[in-house]
Structure 1
Amino acid sequence: MKFIRQPVEETTVNLTPLIDVVFLLLIFFMVSTSFTKEREITIDLPEATGEAPMVDPLQIEILVSANGEYAVNGKRLVNRELTTLRKALIEVSDGDTDLPLVIRADKDTAYQSVISAMDVAGKLGFTRQSLPIQSTSGQ
């Protein structure tokens, strides 16, 4: 007796519904997530003990006051704009970005002002930036 064999079908897994569910979850999380932009960063800075670093007479010093005003090498800038700070750094450095740059800030300064000053200096090419700290006494 001759039996007719049924052709064997290959079993496959259909991934289309899985991909649909993954995309729906992705869209759900993207829509339900809220993004906020931080304006100021508030942190408690550590204090350090040790010897004071040697001061380079040709260094550029940026002072940041508690209300966010800038002064470059003791000369107060006319406003708080970063373009003014940029022009002052270019003028003081005469294009020499290898000079050490010291950023001193008041303890009550918003850290965003310090970050902005570092960002302006970094974009100009100053790589030798430092943030001095006040050492604790009696230790």
Structure 2
Amino acid sequence: MKFRRKPRENVEIGLAPLIDVVFILLLFFVVTTTFTRETQLKVDLPEAASGTPPQETELKQLEVVIDATGQYALNGKALVKSDLQTLTAALNKESQGDYSLPLMISADAKTPHQAVITAMDAAGKLGFSHLRITTVEAQATP
């Protein structure tokens, strides 16, 4: 007895839906991927090996001292809070509206950078035009 074989059906995979799925996946990955550029800055800070000491004047001077923890003192008086509003109010009160007075910022070497920037921001908002950052003269290493 001879069995007849059934004719094979050609099975085709539709490429159009497959391409659609691949493009949707590609679009999904492109949209959800974040591209970040890793950058590093190499900063060589200058030393204050030479400089001119501040000249003694008869004018009233304002000095903001910042300690290692970021606490502010204005002309020797410690401020209650170490934020921008408190420092701005203290500078405004101490200067009595005269923003042409020289302002010195003396910061400890271990002071957080943000504390110095906050002091400079307070001076800039009030309009101080004579700003000086004091440093210590570098010691020669033997």
Q: Which TM-score band applies after superposition, normalised by the shorter structure?
A: 0.5 to 0.7
Structure 1 residues 62, 138: CA separation in 2 closer, same or farther (over 3 Å shift)?
same
| Matched AA of 1:111 | H
| Matched AA of 2:129 | T
Give the corresponding residue for 2:23: none
Once the two structures are superposed, what CA deviation does each residue of 1:55-92 show, in whole Å capped at 9, x if it has no partner?
Answer: 33411000001000000010000111211111100100
Structure 1 residues 77, 64: CA separation in 2 closer, same or farther (over 3 Å shift)?
same
Q: Where in structure 1 do 4 or more consecutive aligned residues deviate above 6 Å?
A: none
Give the corresponding residue for 1:125: 127
What SS does the aligned partner of 2:106 have?
strand
Once the two structures are superposed, what CA deviation does each residue of 1:21-56 show, in whole Å capped at 9, x if it has no partner?
Answer: xxxxxxx69x62359xxxxxx974522213312133
Q: Distance in 2 between the 1:33 and 1:93 partners?
A: 48
**Given the alignment of the two structures, is residue 52 of structure 1 paired with residue 49 of structure 2, yes or no?**
no
Paired residues, number: 106
8 Å Cα contact 1:48/1:133 also seen in 2: no
Q: Distance in 1 between the 2:67 and 2:96 partners?
A: 25
- Which protein is bigger by CA-based radius of gyration? 2
Structure 1 residues 45, 76: CA separation in 2 closer, same or farther (over 3 Å shift)?
farther
Q: What's the C-alpha RMSD, in Å, of the aligned pairs?
A: 2.7
Equivalent residues in 2 for 1:1-139 (5 A)? 32-34=34-36, 44=45, 46-57=47-58, 58-137=60-139
Structure 1 residues 109, 74: CA separation in 2 closer, same or farther (over 3 Å shift)?
same
Gap regions ≥5 residues in structure 2: 1-29, 38-42
TM-score when normalising by structure 1? 0.66
Structure 1 residues 50, 129: CA separation in 2 closer, same or farther (over 3 Å shift)?
closer
Gap regions ≥5 residues in structure 1: 1-27, 36-41
TM-score when normalising by structure 2? 0.65
